[in-house]
Chains A and B, each alone.
Chain A
Amino acid sequence: MEWFAQKWQVVESLAPFLLHGLWMTFQVSMIAIILGSLLGAILGVMKTLDSRALRLCIDAYMHFFRGTPYLVQLYLIYFVLPSLGIAWLQFDSYTAAIVSLTLYTASYVTAIVASAIDAVPRGQEEAARACGMTKAQRLYHIIVPQALRLTVPPMASVYVIVIKSTAVLSVIGLSELTRQGETSILRMPQDTMFIYALIAGLYFLYCYPVLRFARWAERRVGSSAAAQENA
C-alpha cells in the first residue's frame, strides 16, 4: 500500500508536466502527419507521371529519407542547415522538428501513394482515355478515388511510425513527452524506471488505437495493399 501511495504522489506531481509533453507530442505529430501526407500525395502522383527526370528526383529523395536514420536527418536539419548561413534556414527546435518530421513522413507516403496508383488496373486508365478524359481528369475522377482506398491501411502504420519517431525529438530539446520525462527524472532520480514506464504507457495510449485502426482497415480493404508496402 505504501508503495502505491508513494507512486501515486509521483504521478500527481508529474501529471501536468507529462500531459504538457503529451500535448506537444500530439501537436507535432499531427502537423507532421497532415503536411507530410499532403506533400507525399503530391509527390506520389508526380512519381507516376511519364517524366523520367521527375521520377529520378523523387526516387533520390525517397532513398535518402528511407536510407538514413531519422536521428541523422534531424541533426542535418537542426545543425547543418543553419551553418549554411541562409537566414530563413535558421530553424528553432520546433520548426526543425516539424520540417524534418514532415519530410520523413512524406517519403513514406510517396511510396504508398505511388504503389496504390500502380495497383489500379490499367484498364481503368485506358477506358477513361477512351472516353476522352485529359490526364488530370483521369487522375482526379478515376485513378485517385480508387487508389485512395488502398492507401488507408499502410498509411495508418506509417502514422504510428511517425508518432513513435517524435520521441527522438527529445535530443534537440523540444519539450515533448520523452523530454519532459527526462526532465522529471532529474527531479526524482529514484523513480527513473517508474517514470519511463509511465511515459511508455502514455505513448501506448496514443499509438495503440491507431494500430488497431490500421489492422481493422487492413481487414476491410484486404491485405494486398499492406503486403505491397513491405516489398
Chain B
Amino acid sequence: MNWLNGIYNFRIVSDYFETFLNGIFNTVWITLVCLGLSVFFGIFLALMRMSSISVMWRTAAAYIQFVRATPLLIQIYLVYYGLPGLIGNFFDETQTGIIALTLHTTPYMAEIIRAGIISVPKTQTEGAQAVGMSSAQAMYHIILPQAIAKLISPLLGQAVVLLKDTSLLSIIAVFELMGAGLIMFSETVSATESYVTTAICYLLIYLMMLVASGFIQRKLGGTATYAT
C-alpha cells in the first residue's frame, strides 16, 4: 500500500471524512431544494411562455433567453452583489446561492415542461373542453399529468446538471462538496487528496442518481409509454 500512499494519502483524507460528509449532505439538500423550487416555478414560467398575452410571453421569453445565453457564474455574481442592494442583507450565502441557482434552473425546467405540454395531443384539450372543464381545470387534471410523465427523463438530466452547478456556489463561500475540497486544500496543501476526493464524491452522487433515475423511469414512465 506504500506506493498508493505516495500518490494518494488516504490517512489525510480520513481526517477530513466528516468535512466531506457534511459537504455531500449540503450539496444534496441544496440540489433537492433548487430542484423542487425550479420545477414549481418552471411550470408557471412555461405557462407564461405559452400565454397568448403578448406582455406575458415576451417577458418570459426574454428571461429564458437571458439565462440561457449568460454563464451561471455571472448570474451568481449578479444575485450575490445585487440582492443586498435591492432588499438589504436579508439572506445568508447559502440562501443567496439557492436563489441564484433556482433563478438559473427555472428557465431550463420551463423549456422542458413546455416541450412536454406541447407534446400532449390537442385532442386531449378539446376532449376536456367537451366535458365542460375550464382551461385551468383541463391543464391541471388532463394536460399536466400526461406532460409530467413524459418529462421525467429530461428532468432527471437537468437534475444532474443542477447537481454539478452547485459546485460554483463554493465561489461565493457556500459550504458544500466543492467547498469541503477547497477547505482541505487550504489546510493541507495536498491537491491530489483534496480534489480527487471531491471528484470521487461527485461521481458517487452522480452514479446514485443514474441508478435512481433508471428506477424512477421504470416506475413512473409506464403510463406515458402506453399513451403514445
Which residues of A does B touch, CB under 8 Å? 63-64, 66-73, 75-76, 79-80, 83-84, 160, 164-168, 170-171, 178, 192-193, 196-197, 199-200, 203-204, 207-208, 211, 230-231
Is there contact, CB below 8 Å, between B153 and A67?
no
Assess whether B72 is interfacial by the CB under 8 Å rule.
yes
A residues in contact with B2, CB < 8 Å: none
Chain B residues contacting A230 (CB-CB under 8 Å) are 112, 153-154, 157
**Structural contact, A68 and B164, CB atoms closer than 8 A:** yes
Q: Which residues of A contact B70 (CB under 8 A)?
A: 164, 200, 203-204, 207
A67-B203, A72-B167, A76-B196 as given contacts; A193 in contact with B81, CB under 8 Å: yes
A67 and B207 within 8 A (CB): yes
Selecting from B42-50, B61-69, B135-143, the interface stretch reads: B61-69
In the complex, what's the smallest C-beta–C-beta distance from A83 to chain B, in angstroms? 5
CA distance A70 to B75 in the complex (A): 17
In whole angstroms, how far apart are the Cα atoms of A178 and B75 in the complex? 11
A-side contacts of B157, CB under 8 Å: 230-231
CB closest chain-B residue, reference A207: B69
Interface string of B154-198 (1 = CB under 8 A from A): 100100100011111011000000100100010000111001101
Could you say which residues of chain A place their CB within 8 Å of the CB of B191? 75, 79-80, 83
Interface membership of B78, Cβ < 8 A: yes
Given A63-B206, A68-B202, A69-B202, A208 and B81 touching (CB < 8 A)?
no
Judging by beta carbons under 8 Å apart, are B195 and A67 in contact? Answer: no
Contact B77 A208 (CB under 8 A): no
- B178 and A69 contact, CB distance less than 8 A: yes
Which residues from B are CB-within-8-Å of A204?
Answer: 66, 69-70
A164-B70, A200-B78 given; 13 more Cβ-contact pairs under 8 Å:
A67-B202, A68-B164, A68-B202, A69-B164, A69-B165, A71-B178, A72-B199, A79-B195, A193-B78, A193-B81, A193-B85, A200-B66, A207-B70
- Bound together, the chains give a CA A204 to CA B78 distance in angstroms of 14
17 A–B contacts from the bound complex (CB under 8 Å): A64-B199, A67-B202, A68-B203, A69-B164, A72-B181, A79-B195, A80-B195, A83-B190, A160-B69, A164-B72, A196-B74, A200-B66, A204-B66, A204-B70, A207-B69, A211-B65, A211-B69
Given A69-B165, A71-B170, A196-B81 in contact, is the A208-B69 Cβ separation under 8 Å?
yes
Among candidates B72, B78, B154, B206, residue contacting A196 with C-beta atoms closer than 8 Å: B78
* Shortest Cβ gap from B16 to chain A (Å): 16
Q: What B residues does A83 contact at CB under 8 A? A: 190-192
The verdict on B82 contacting chain A, using a C-beta distance below 8 Å, is: yes
**A73 — which chain B residues lie within 8 A by C-beta?**
199
B interface residue numbers (CB < 8 A to A): 7, 65-66, 68-75, 77-78, 81-82, 85, 112, 153-154, 157, 160, 164-168, 170-171, 178, 181, 185, 190-192, 195-196, 198-199, 202-203, 206-207
CB distance from B172 to the nearest CB of A (A): 12
Query: Which residue from A67, A71, A166, A192 sits with its C-beta under 8 Å from B81?
Result: A192
The closest CB in chain B to the CB of A203 belongs to B70
Give complex CA distance A76, B202 in Å: 13
B71 touches A164 (CB 8 A): yes
CB nearest to A157 among chain B residues: B68
Beta-carbon contact of B206 and A167 below 8 Å: no
Q: A68-B202, A69-B167 are in contact. Are A160 and B74 (CB under 8 A)?
A: no
B210 to chain A, nearest CB (A): 8
Set A66, A211, A231: member contacting B68, Cβ < 8 A: A211
Q: With A and B bound together, what is the CA distance between A208 and B65 in angstroms?
A: 8
In the assembled complex, how far is the CB of residue B31 from the closest CB belonging to chain A, in whole angstroms? 12
Give CA–CA (A197, B65) in the complex, Å. Answer: 15
**How many angstroms between the C-alpha atoms of A80 and B81 in the bound complex?**
32
Hey, which chain B residues are within 8 Å of A84, CB to CB? Answer: 7, 192
* With contact pairs A160-B68, A204-B66 given, residues A70 and B164 touching in the complex (Cβ less than 8 Å): yes
Closest to A230 in B: B154
Cα–Cα, bound, A63→B209 (Å): 12
How many angstroms from the CA of A73 to the CA of B200 in the assembled complex?
Answer: 11
Tell which of A171, A178, A208 touches B74, judged by Cβ atoms closer than 8 Å.
Answer: A178
Cα A171 to Cα B70 in complex, Å, equals 17
A167 to B7, CA, bound (A): 31
